[in-house]
Amino acid sequence: MSGIYIHIPFCKKRCTYCDFYTEVAPKHIPRLVEAICKEIEIRADYLPSNQIDTIYFGGGTPSVLKPEQFAVIFKAIYATFTVSDDAEITFEANPDDLTVLFFESIQSLPFNRISIGIQSFDDEDLKRINRRHNGNQAVNAVKNAQNAGFGNISIDLIYGLPYQTIEKWEKQLDTALGLDIEHISSYGLTYEEGTKLWEQREKAEIIPVDDDTMNEMYLLLVKKLKQKGFDAYEISNFAQNGFRSRHNSSYWKQQPYIGLGPSAHSYNITGRQWNVASISDYTFAIENKMEFYEKENLTFFEKFNDYVMVSIRTAEGIDLEYIEREFGSEFMNECIENCRHYIDSLHINLSNNRLSLTTSGVLISNQILTELMKV
Ligand code: SF4
């Protein structure tokens, strides 16, 4: 089973914290859609299996595409791959695009999951990070999606926004939990070099939330979501029973996927490759049959590090039998030894031949990971 990721690198304006590759140039959309369809043809044999279990339109802002542009991409996908009848087909969207009219216009498309980039319901927070929507639009986006028949809705929330207090964060969570959604992805705000937010912090124009408060916010997130029946199946991902993201889970299980569009990454077990992060270079290269990606084969150590890095974040944790099978008993024993003091300090749980983080372990996961990875 494999996945398809399609990167739609357009945003109507840039959020101050974002370091993803996107551009504000909608006039290039038609040319990009054509190039993505050509890339599908060119890379028809990339995946070890033609059977597709998940399709994910991410960005950027996929909801800037017109329904007929989505339809053209779907046509190319279905003509090239065998898509399972029950495939999970997701698109990311900004709340202000999700009007009743928008949902009517995509009715004939095969989407069955939506991931809404809400980040916050607080108008001041949203303004400060330059999001396009306000709190009311965020709530309405979810309601419109539900009324349109979407029964698998995920929202993104960021905690630790400048000036956010525990009380304000709790209010965000209460609003989210009042919406009867199936999935929440929630990340602590990070300051990425080169972003406007980074610059604002450097110039002391904003006051960042301190580490202790960030940890408290995470603990509150886990507690409140657990009370409402959400399963913390990955450090930043929470799902109601039966609603884990199959697409993201396939990344964590190291299943192959093909990434289409500028800056998209792909993985096919033997190696990784990534497309050029420029709409103009990508479309020009595809149109002129030139190379549009770089690639690397993974070394033994890199494969191990990749596995440890993603699996330690999941509720199932590191599978020691898998490590023994794939990397040998020496790696497995070393892994247990490296974790020994964390097991004793209750930051890691060892059971059923798996090493998984406890909630307190999540708070020091970076430190733990550094000790587990091979250099
Ligand atoms: S909408 Fe998403 S991709 Fe676009 S700038 Fe904001 S965070 Fe980045």
pLDDT of amino acid 195: 96
Separation of CA 44 from chain center: 24
At the topology level, CATH places domain 2-252 in: TIM Barrel (3.20.20)
Q: How far is the CA of 320 from the centre of ligand 1 (A)?
A: 37
Average pLDDT over residues 126-130: 96
Q: Given the DSSP bridges, would you call strands 318-319 and 113-119 parallel, antiparallel or unpaired? A: unpaired
Beta carbon of 191 within 6 Å of any ligand 1 atom: no
Q: How far is the CA of 276 from the centre of ligand 1 (A)?
A: 19
Can 2-252 and 300-372 be said to share one CATH topology? no
Q: Edge-to-edge, what's the strand order for the sheet holding 318-319?
A: 318-319, 354-357, 348-351
pLDDT of amino acid 374: 81
For domain 300-372, give its CATH number from 1.10.10, 2.40.50, 1.20.120, 1.10.3860: 1.10.10
pLDDT of amino acid 375: 75
User: pLDDT of 187-219, one tens digit each?
Assistant: 999 999 999 999 999 999 999 999 999 999 999
Q: Which amino acid is at 10?
A: F
Q: Is the pTM of this model over 0.75?
A: yes
373 phi, psi to nearest 5 deg: -80, 150
Average pLDDT over residues 313-342: 96
Domain ranges of the chain: 2-252, 300-372
Beta carbon of 361 within 6 Å of any ligand 1 atom: no
Residue closest by Cα to atom 5 of ligand 1: 14
Residue 60 Cα: closest atom of ligand 1: 3
Beta carbon of 64 within 6 Å of any ligand 1 atom: no
Beta carbon of 18 within 6 Å of any ligand 1 atom: yes
User: pLDDT of 23-66, one tens digit each?
Assistant: 887 889 999 999 999 999 999 999 999 999 999 999 889 989 99
Helices (H), strands (E): how many in the chain? 15, 15
Residue 323 contacts residue 307 (beta carbons within 8 Å): yes
Beta carbon of 60 within 6 Å of any ligand 1 atom: yes
